[in-house]
Structure 1
């Protein structure tokens, strides 16, 4: 049900609202699906890069083992036994294409040429002196090679991996992810060509992962159109569902607008029908967690809409001037429901009720409080009025008389949501306040945000210096509870202890306590 003070919309405006209400869920749904597709592709790309590194590490493990095995032969004669040992490693070790021995930076014996081919070695070609991604060798000049070099003094052993194995890994790990093997300034993609230009940057799901054991890294990613291709392939049912909910939202918005009625009239009707009922949220002591009181929260039990939250109707009630009779009705209903069970309360049981600026225009609130307190045995409860800041309470002679009269009755004054409004400090200066209620936004940041914690600590310190009681709202975790208790907060309130509940449930829980 719309609760607004705006004039009735024109037919053109209603249809525009209907159209926007239907289009927004569709647009939002498509954006969410696009974001989800991006996230999925990023995860897939990362997993493919990890798998590529695992495969290349496995290949290099074999070359490293072959080189280590052959190292004792480096520097010896390139006789038949040496050549046989070189070829044996090529045969026994997976992925190893060729093995070579060097002495004093000159290759003199290999599994391919024996001792007939001698060539110098340039250590600068090798990244960290170990790896070189090259275009090929004299046997296969157009086939990439990854050469592993192991040296001990003047001795050296080389073991190479054929580009066929490298490109197979890049091509077969994923159908959609493009993978690039980069060793120093050279890089190889699935086409088998070694490049020396800048490494490609992928527009979608770009990911780079370095090996922790060898001097290379893998770059992975996808082309720009891959997100939409993925969505078209995987999300057709979800697209239909998004459109369905968009149409449903548009129809619902149109139905709500058609059945709209004057909000002030609806509030007056609900007030006359006693549809505003109290809910109670316990307030516990910070040290013992014993129930010390409760806050009374208004709920609208609408015959068609069900239970309506206060943030949907309290601002309208204040704007329309109905907040005073609504609060008066709430106080009477609260007294009627709690008074028969007052014997179960500890002496001085706190009952907190919110008031706004509209209550401070005259002294009628004093009469309302007198009637409320008269329903209970003397001293059995303490009425706490919580000042809200939705409307500013201006200090005047009337307000000063009002708060003095309330204090003479034994009514206490609390500032609700302290620290969030522009007038909190002004209330402290102008009114005789008894309690500060810390806003739940500061409590929620305990352990997460240092600035909010410092503000919270400052509020607690301020209350101590002013000799004011303090209540922390919105306590939801054991960590928050422990921190507040350690700081000496008097009272705690929040879902950790209990949610707002109707009177019957509250009385039952109170008896259990």
Structure 2
């Protein structure tokens, strides 16, 4: 069986574990949420950088289509006639370095050099082409070796005629692709398989160092893409996570404290008792009381047992005091009364057979016990008398004497249980007017062994006889104890010598095999225990 200290310690341990688990869970969830939020924000920043770079380049390249639409009409005209118009366009667009006219694959007019006669394939091997092209290349005429962006616009007649526009790509990369640290450490413009990185010029290929990741985004309007290279969003978020720890720790401690308060009732012995009552885990046992002279069963004391599926068997010496501390003794008493009424058929239908129920003094406050008896006991019209057994664990002088008198008027007997071990006072024997004193088993066990307690037992017996109060001896375990009590005038005995507590359903079988019915006198049963 469990001890009170072990049960309470177990509840506190489980409660602490739950609160600690909640705190750790909240800490983990808070840091996880912050990590995910920070990671997503970093990804959005990288994506935003790529989008801004693409929009910048698209805004620069968009006017080139308008310029080419105007300049293509000049193809075939003498260079002197077209030159002024071409230079006006270059002057108006800061990013445009030059415009050239190509006829039959020959560059014959440049906005910078004027008339020329150079096959365009010598300058750009991929030109002329029948389709519009966007190329990354190096300048071989003005600023030799510098990167340029070539925009090729062929005429629609399928010939080798067209317009080639040279964009100042270094200025362009300065406008759109300066890295945004720490999210973007490198930015690369990709056009037709060629790569231009900010600050490094043209690259044959793009390499990504260990620990870094790349994100590529393509333009929907022009044939180019942007690659941004930098630490992964997760690594950046993880690196920034320690700054979120203080707030997460405070939040987790707050949730842990709230959980501690919230579980005060649910993870406590009071909650366990309420759950046990709701689940009908309690079971009522009975222990017979026998006449010391003829060994006839004259009543039973109803005892509560608890086979807790979570804790195992819990002794009444454990859960009864705890229930009293938690103000739950009254619900347990109601349960016993309800079970007694439900099993009345198992007891002899005789007024010479009483049913004893243990009650606490706190149940007497404001007449609560009378209300419960009127609700559970009296509607059953039980023939058997009811005896309420008050334990001396409670402050018996605090019992409302008006309630005691009302009980007597209702025909309910009153017994003081475990007499001599608790808050004994000779004064309240008169004020409570008990019908029965139950001698505690510790005094019964001392018979023949302990001179002091044996003397106290004799004093209790003499006191009860002097006051006209009936006696019941508890804990009778040997024939010598039974003989001693019988010789000293104790009429009713209870203990393992006669019967151990048993489930209610076993009582009829025990009673049937115990002894014949009590003798009759003039057709009426002879009372074997006087009840006032």
Bin for the TM-score computed over the shorter chain: 0.3 to 0.5
TM-score normalised to structure 1 length: 0.48
Structure with larger Rg: 2
TM-score normalised to structure 2 length: 0.46
